[in-house]
């Protein structure tokens, strides 16, 4: 799976800043901005894949996921700006190199792998905050900790359902319908 270019994020020299935030924490948050951006483009790619393969409900689900990831990225950008630091805006996405055979179960399994990687990176930020006593950033990151837990559970549940369904067309029809509705109800909340 060519999911994420692991080494694309390079720690650039921090721009001159008057921020009270620790330099390492700023770098870690910038890496997180990079990961959220990658996740957003990956889900947009999947939304497109499902649309062209006739699964409009799942396509809507992934488009909504993509929007959520972009919101996460913006939340982190705003935090750095509020703290008088300079966020590094990702200037690259990997979509032009993206290539995965269309396989419903694999796409969801890859998404879960992606979410786990994002969770681990968030936990790393929290642990670093604890080490230096940055209670404010630790508090801010707690929202992401909870969000990631929900995301992982959501993907795990869908994967379990897909495993039960297997190749059954009726089951796939149903889950496509359900996931399209799930996105609608999440938007309303
Ligand atoms: Fe914002 Fe699902 O990572």
CA 35 / ligand 1 centre spacing (Å): 8
CB-defined site of ligand 1, < 6 Å: 36, 39, 69, 72, 115, 118, 151
The answer to the question of residue 105 being in a domain is yes
Report the number of distinct structural domains present in the chain: 1
Has residue 85 got a pLDDT over 70?
yes
Helix axes of 135-165 and 56-82: crossing angle, nearest 10 degrees: 170
CA 169 / ligand 1 centre spacing (Å): 30
Atom of ligand 1 at shortest distance to CA of 73?
Answer: 1
The answer to the question of residue 57 being in a domain is yes
61 vs 118: CA distance, rounded Å: 19
Q: How confident is the model over 79-92, as a mean pLDDT?
A: 92
C-beta neighbour count of 186 within 10 angstroms: 13
Contact predicate 130/138, CB 8 Å: yes
Where residue 54 falls (left for φ over 0; alpha for ψ -120 to 50; beta otherwise) is: left
Of residues 40, 14, 38, the one with CA closest to residue 26? 14
30 vs 20: CA distance, rounded Å: 16
CATH number at residue 144: 1.20.1260.10
CA 8 / ligand 1 centre spacing (Å): 18
Q: What is the tens place of the pLDDT at every residue in 6-31?
A: 445 565 555 555 779 999 999 999 99
10 Å CB burial of residue 84 (0-12, 13-18, 19+) is exposed
- Which residue has its alpha carbon closest to ligand 1 atom 2? 115
Atom of ligand 1 at shortest distance to CA of 148?
Answer: 2
The answer to the question of residue 45 being in a domain is yes
Q: What is the tens place of the pLDDT at every residue in 134-182?
A: 999 999 999 999 999 999 999 999 999 999 999 999 999 999 999 998 7
Q: What is the tens place of the pLDDT at every residue in 100-136?
A: 899 999 999 999 999 999 999 999 999 999 999 999 9
113 vs 119: CA distance, rounded Å: 10
């Amino acid at each position: 799976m060519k999911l994420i270019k692991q080494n694309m994020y390079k720690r650039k020299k921090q721009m001159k800043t008057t921020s009270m935030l620790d330099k390492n924490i700023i770098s870690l948050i910038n890496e997180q901005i990079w990961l959220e951006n990658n996740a957003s483009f990956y889900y947009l790619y999947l939304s497109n894949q499902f649309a062209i393969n006739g699964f409009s409900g799942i396509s809507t689900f992934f488009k909504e996921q993509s929007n959520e990831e972009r919101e996460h990225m913006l939340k982190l950008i705003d935090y750095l700006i509020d703290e008088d630091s300079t966020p590094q805006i990702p200037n690259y996405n990997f979509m032009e190199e993206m290539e995965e055979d269309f396989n419903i179960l694999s796409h969801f399994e890859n998404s879960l792998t992606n979410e786990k990687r994002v969770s681990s990176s968030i936990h790393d930020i929290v642990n670093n905050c604890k080490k230096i006593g940055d209670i404010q950033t630790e508090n801010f990151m707690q929202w992401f900790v909870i969000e990631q837990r929900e995301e992982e559970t959501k993907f795990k549940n869908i994967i379990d359902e897909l495993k039960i369904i297997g190749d059954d067309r009726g089951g796939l029809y149903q889950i496509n319908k359900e996931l399209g509705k799930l996105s609608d109800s999440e938007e309303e909340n």
